[in-house]
């Protein structure tokens, strides 16, 4: 087991420890979680661990202060996107400080926030909180928020549910009231092969996929032209996008299979499942009949890859007021990327996004976070804790 003492460590020191673990989503995070567990144990902080089905990944739910429901949660994931193929100027898993910037994979998204929450533990303990400060540390946010879903199950089992939640995704410490939902779908087209000189005897899966993709492009234009619209998002409407397409083998063979990946990013006023149903109904009505007239088994099949609900918090909610005061921000915002926040809100926990760094620095080679952002986050967490003392 990794040894860790209970001495006070700065956010940057803890960030260096967290960055050193390669927790790319394809990897286990158990070594990092063992470090965090030892750190919390060294400070006498109780915590719960929940695992994925295979046992190779874990969440931690820690409570500082009363071991009761209520209070506020600080939530952050520790999985990261890959560094493969990126041109880094140094080791992505060794934290480097240069010109006030801390470089390393996950610094902005979002080990910086997790490090700040852990560094605050001694100060939070010293405050004698009247209500608990929860720490949610999760796995697999980057590939579908699987850890947050599992953590919500554990909250149902423990009954130790916070009243409020702050997700520390990079927002430049600006409170984010809303984000879009996301539904990603893998579409498979089944056709029938044959020689290209007799196209009437086969079912061209690439042609069918192209017709479907053309409808997706028309849907994108419909959203942009007709909405509905919601100010604050960029773009201020639901978007649909096809990101990959594969099919066929050689030119003179009718392709019997094609695949493409698509996604909807929905404003809170739209529902992704409704849009998927509309898409499927169009294909069933306009494309599949001709395919099945030649080959009864031809057609489209759909496999949902990931789904995240949108987040929407009322600007007058007490959590929005509290986070604005603690962050020192006079404004709030909305973002088009997704977070675990929509899941927590859907589980009945009012949630807001506010964290250090900027999304433009995430997922990039030489990912970085400014030391000044970490300093701001340190103060933010302590001011939130002061509100839990009353």
pLDDT band at 388 (very low <50, low <70, confident <90, very high): confident
Write down the pTM of the prediction. 0.90
Average pLDDT of the residues in 162-179: 97
Supply angle C-alpha 199, 203, 205, rounded to 5.
115
Is 100 in the same domain as 242? no
Tell me whether residue 3 is in a domain.
no
Tell me the C-alpha distance between 258 and 192, whole Å: 11
pLDDT range class, residue 8, cuts 50, 70, 90:
confident
Distance of CA 224 to the CA centre of its chain: 25
- pLDDT given at position 37: 98
Q: Do 47 and 131 have their domain in common?
A: yes
Range of the domain at 374: 11-178+311-388
Helix (H) or strand (E) holding 257: strand 257-266
- The chain-wide mean pLDDT, for the chain, equals 96
Query: Which is nearest to 282 in space by CA: 233, 214, 348?
Result: 214
Which one of 251, 274, 308 terminates a domain?
A: 308
Neighbours of 24 (CB within 10 A): 18
Give yes or no: residues 90 and 198 share one domain: no
Count of residues making up the chain: 390
Q: How many domains does the chain have?
A: 2
- Among candidate residues 257, 283, 308, the one where a domain is terminated: 308
**pLDDT beyond 90 at 389:** no
Q: Are residues 257 and 358 located together in one domain of the fold?
A: no
Q: Is residue 104 part of a domain?
A: yes
Question: Which residues carry out catalysis?
Answer: 79, 141
Residue whose pair of structure tokens reads 């739209």 in the numeric block: 270
In a domain? residue 82? yes
As given in the structure block, the two tokens for residue 212 are 């479907």
Q: Does one domain contain both 227 and 300?
A: yes
Instruction: Give the pLDDT score at 390.
Output: 65
Both 29 and 166 in one domain: the answer is: yes
Q: What angle do CA 354, 135, 109 make, to 5 degrees?
A: 45
In 3D space, the residue among 351, 260, 355, 370 whose CA is nearest the CA of residue 311 turns out to be: 351
* Contacting residues for 345 by C-beta, under 8 A, at least 6 apart: 165, 309, 311, 312, 313, 351
Identify whether residues 203 and 224 lie together within a single domain.
yes
| Domain CATH for 260 | 3.30.70.360
């Amino acid at each position: 087991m990794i040894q860790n003492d209970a001495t006070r460590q700065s956010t940057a020191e803890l960030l260096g420890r967290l960055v050193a673990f390669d927790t790319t989503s394809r990897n286990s995070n158990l070594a990092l979680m063992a470090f965090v567990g030892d750190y919390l144990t060294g400070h006498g902080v109780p915590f719960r661990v929940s695992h994925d089905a295979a046992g190779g990944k874990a969440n931690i739910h820690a409570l500082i202060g009363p071991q009761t429901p209520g209070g506020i949660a600080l939530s952050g994931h520790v999985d990261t996107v890959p560094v493969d193929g990126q041109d880094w100027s140094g080791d992505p898993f060794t934290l480097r400080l240069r010109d006030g910037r801390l470089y390393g994979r996950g610094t902005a998204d979002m080990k910086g926030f997790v490090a700040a929450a852990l560094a605050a533990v001694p100060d939070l303990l010293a405050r004698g909180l009247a209500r608990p400060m929860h720490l949610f540390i999760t796995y697999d946010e980057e590939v579908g928020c699987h850890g947050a879903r599992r953590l919500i199950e554990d909250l149902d089992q423990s009954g130790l549910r916070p009243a409020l939640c702050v997700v520390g995704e990079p927002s430049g410490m600006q409170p984010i009231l809303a984000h879009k939902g996301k539904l990603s779908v893998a579409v498979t087209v089944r056709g029938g092969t044959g020689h290209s000189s007799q196209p009437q005897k086969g079912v061209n899966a690439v042609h069918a996929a192209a017709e479907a993709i053309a409808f997706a492009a028309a849907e994108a234009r419909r959203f942009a032209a007709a909405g509905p619209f919601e100010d604050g998002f960029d773009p201020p409407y639901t978007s649909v996008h096809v990101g990959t397409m594969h099919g066929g083998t050689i030119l003179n063979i009718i392709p019997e299979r094609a695949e493409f990946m698509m996604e909807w990013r929905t404003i809170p006023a739209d529902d992704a499942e409704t849009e998927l149903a509309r898409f499927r109904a169009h294909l069933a009505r306009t494309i599949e009949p001709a395919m099945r007239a030649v080959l009864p088994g031809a057609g489209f099949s759909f496999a949902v890859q990931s789904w995240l609900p949108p987040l929407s918090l009322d600007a007058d909610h007490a959590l929005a007021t509290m986070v604005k005061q603690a962050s020192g921000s006079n404004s709030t915002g909305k973002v088009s990327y997704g977070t675990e926040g929509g899941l927590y809100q859907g589980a009945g926990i009012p949630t807001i996004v506010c964290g250090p760094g900027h999304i433009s620095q995430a997922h990039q080679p030489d990912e970085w976070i400014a030391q000044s952002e970490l300093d701001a986050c340190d103060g933010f967490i302590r001011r939130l804790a002061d509100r839990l003392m009353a």
